[in-house]
């Protein structure tokens, strides 16, 4: 490559002045990938394809090592010595002008400098937590937001560019994930869904029956007919269309960004190339809508009293509006502060994968007290890499009777509610464009778990408000219980002392 990087920096005005023989799209990385069809360079064996024509590394075995077919060595010059993962780290250290300049250097640089996660990080670093536009890709969104581009062009000149001859798992993996439907994992056959979660009708549930059948045994359950009286369901007030009409300019939280709902809707409708779409997850949706959304639903009485209500304004975040396109969702996690949760679907369908507290999901890594949880894969990557192994190891037909049935799988559809017991690992993914509401709660059943969590893991407590600090939350909550629910307090503390006395924390003098 001729010239230094600083010498080749250009203004945004030259952004799309690139050779006509090149071409754009996005992405990231992989463990093992299927070979793409030799005669269909933009499609893999599953019918997926990278918009630039990038193919998995394994396709080099089909084409041989001819430099006329592999454009990486000649196109990257001295940068060719770097493995893809290292090259992308180097490119991620450059600013936007440098990346745009590199895209004009060769088709190979065009492909690597168009990698969408790099551009997403640039948007995050400049946006100060607010997203005002969505232009169909993070690169275009960056240019529209921070470049010399007042309006969205009707056509972007580089949209017609392709880069055949680039073989990279790092670049191809996100495209594979973005075009992999996750529905077959839950519905492998139209009439035989893969469903191992217990089911119940709300009409048969009271607080006592729910506690004895599901809460005390710590058993997830899919509940139907529970939302029949909700205005939000009966009047279809919480579809994406309805929310956009009612709350178009109200900003909601979607991961790293606050953005008006109409911008999120635009993103949701135009993110087909995103392997991990932004997930709208907002804990202040009732306050932001002036209480309007709070009138659309009513918590379910059979879950029992929520004892965190005793903390009043100091209680932690407990309710969230959740929305997103297909493939958006939450990777494996446990709900905060030892709470249980319910999740009610008002639009679309959600796929659930759950494991009990003592079974760490395949692909998830934690330290001993679970204060650090690493789940390096996106949701589609987890399904592509681990689902089949997990199902054969922990599913209903697992060979080991000790592990058999530990993995719970199911689909929560419109008007249904999922109950997640305290401490359960769960992954949730939208199978369609979906809207839901969820609440975390503390009934007497999980109270002992919550108090234990407060006492033994204060550094992991989250979401509490007011003047509460991790070191004072345990004392404040137990005092509130003593004053307002003394019998419940006595039972919970008695169970706590029997099952788990206070941890002895090792001091420097004990070592």
User: In whole angstroms, what is the distance from residue 338 CA to residue 174 CA?
Assistant: 34
Residues 292 and 166 placed together within one structural domain of the fold: no
Secondary structure class of 434 (helix, strand, coil):
strand
Q: Is the pLDDT of residue 135 over 60?
A: yes
Residues 406 and 281 placed together within one structural domain of the fold: yes
Residues 352 and 220 placed together within one structural domain of the fold: yes
Predicted local confidence at residue 114, as pLDDT: 95
Predicted local confidence at residue 227, as pLDDT: 95
DSSP string, 291-356: TTGGGG----GGG---GGGGGGGGSPP-EEEEEE-TT-EEEEE--GGG-EEEEEEEES-EEEEEE-
pTM, full prediction: 0.86
Residues 113 and 250 placed together within one structural domain of the fold: no
Cβ neighbors of 249 (< 8 A, separation 6 or more) are 260, 261, 262
Residues 102 and 240 placed together within one structural domain of the fold: no
Predicted local confidence at residue 49, as pLDDT: 82
Q: Is the pLDDT of residue 37 over 50?
A: no
> Domain ends where: 440, 457, 484?
440
User: In whole angstroms, what is the distance from residue 26 CA to residue 128 CA?
Assistant: 23
Q: Domain residues for 300?
A: 183-335+342-440
> Domain ends where: 410, 440, 470?
440
Assess if residue 16 is contained within a domain: no
CATH at residue 233: 2.60.120.650
Identify the residue with better confidence: 136 or 28: 136
Residues 259 and 390 placed together within one structural domain of the fold: yes
Residues 175 and 188 placed together within one structural domain of the fold: no
Report phi then psi at 425, rounded to 5: -70, 140
Predicted local confidence at residue 22, as pLDDT: 34
Cβ neighbors of 13 (< 8 A, separation 6 or more) are 148
Burial profile 48-66: b = 16 or more Cβ within 10 angstroms, e = fewer: bbbbbbbbbbebbeeeeee
Mean pLDDT of the region 205-220: 97
Predicted local confidence at residue 154, as pLDDT: 58
Predicted local confidence at residue 122, as pLDDT: 96
Angle among Cα 225, 230, 234 to the nearest 5 degrees reads 85
Assess if residue 351 is contained within a domain: yes
Name the domain count of the chain: 2
Identify the residue with better confidence: 318 or 376: 318
Identify the residue with better confidence: 467 or 173: 173
Residues 113 and 187 placed together within one structural domain of the fold: no
Secondary structure class of 262 (helix, strand, coil):
helix
Q: Is the pLDDT of residue 40 over 50?
A: no
Q: Rounded to the nearest 10 degrees, what angle do helices 470-484 and 486-499 cross at?
A: 130
> Domain ends where: 440, 469, 499?
440
233, two tokens: 């369901």
Residues 130 and 218 placed together within one structural domain of the fold: no
């Amino acid at each position: 490559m001729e010239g230094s990087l600083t010498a080749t920096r250009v203004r945004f005005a030259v952004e799309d002045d690139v050779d006509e023989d090149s071409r754009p799209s996005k992405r990231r990385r992989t463990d093992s990938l299927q070979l793409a069809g030799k005669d269909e360079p933009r499609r893999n064996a599953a019918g997926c394809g990278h918009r630039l024509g990038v193919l998995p590394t394994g396709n080099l075995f089909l084409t041989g090592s001819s430099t006329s077919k592999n454009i990486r060595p000649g196109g990257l010059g001295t940068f060719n010595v770097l493995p893809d993962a290292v090259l992308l780290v180097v490119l991620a250290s450059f600013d936007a002008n440098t990346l745009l300049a590199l895209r004009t250097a060769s088709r190979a640089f065009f492909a690597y400098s168009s990698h969408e996660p790099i551009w997403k990080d640039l948007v995050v670093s400049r946006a100060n937590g607010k997203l005002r536009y969505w232009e169909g890709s993070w690169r275009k969104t960056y240019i529209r937001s921070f470049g010399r581009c007042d309006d969205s062009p009707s056509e972007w000149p580089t949209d017609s560019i392709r880069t055949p001859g680039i073989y990279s798992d790092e670049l191809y993996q996100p495209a594979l994930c973005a075009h992999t439907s996750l529905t077959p994992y839950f519905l492998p056959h139209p009439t035989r869904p893969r469903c191992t979660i217990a089911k119940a009708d709300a009409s048969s549930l009271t607080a006592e029956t729910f506690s004895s059948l599901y809460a005390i045994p710590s058993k997830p359950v899919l509940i139907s007919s529970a939302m029949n009286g909700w205005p939000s369901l009966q009047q279809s007030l919480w579809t994406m269309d309805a929310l956009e009409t009612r709350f178009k300019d109200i900003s909601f939280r979607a991961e790293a960004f606050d953005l008006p709902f109409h911008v999120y809707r635009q993103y949701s409708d135009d993110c087909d190339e995103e392997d991990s779409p932004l997930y709208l997850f907002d804990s202040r949706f009732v306050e932001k809508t002036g209480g309007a959304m709070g009138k659309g639903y009513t918590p379910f009485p059979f879950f029992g009293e929520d004892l965190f209500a005793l903390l009043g304004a100091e209680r932690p975040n407990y309710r969230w509006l959740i929305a997103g396109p297909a493939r958006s969702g939450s990777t494996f996690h446990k709900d905060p502060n030892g709470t249980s949760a319910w999740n009610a679907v008002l639009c679309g369908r959600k796929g659930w994968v759950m494991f009990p507290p003592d079974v760490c999901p395949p692909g998830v890594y934690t330290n001993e007290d679970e204060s650090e949880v690493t789940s390096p894969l996106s949701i589609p990557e987890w399904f592509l890499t681990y689902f089949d192994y997990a199902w054969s190891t922990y599913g209903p037909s697992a060979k080991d009777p000790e592990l058999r049935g530990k993995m719970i799988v199911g689909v929560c559809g419109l008007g249904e509610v999922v109950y997640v017991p305290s401490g359960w690992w769960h992954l949730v993914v939208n199978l369609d464009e979906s809207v839901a509401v969820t609440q975390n709660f503390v009934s007497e059943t999980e109270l002992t778990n919550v108090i234990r969590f407060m006492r033994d893991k204060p550094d992991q407590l989250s979401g509490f408000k007011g003047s509460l600090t991790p070191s004072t939350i345990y004392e404040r909550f137990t005092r509130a219980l003593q004053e307002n629910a003394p019998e419940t307090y006595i039972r919970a503390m008695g169970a706590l002392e029997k099952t788990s006395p206070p941890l002895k924390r090792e001091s420097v003098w004990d070592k």
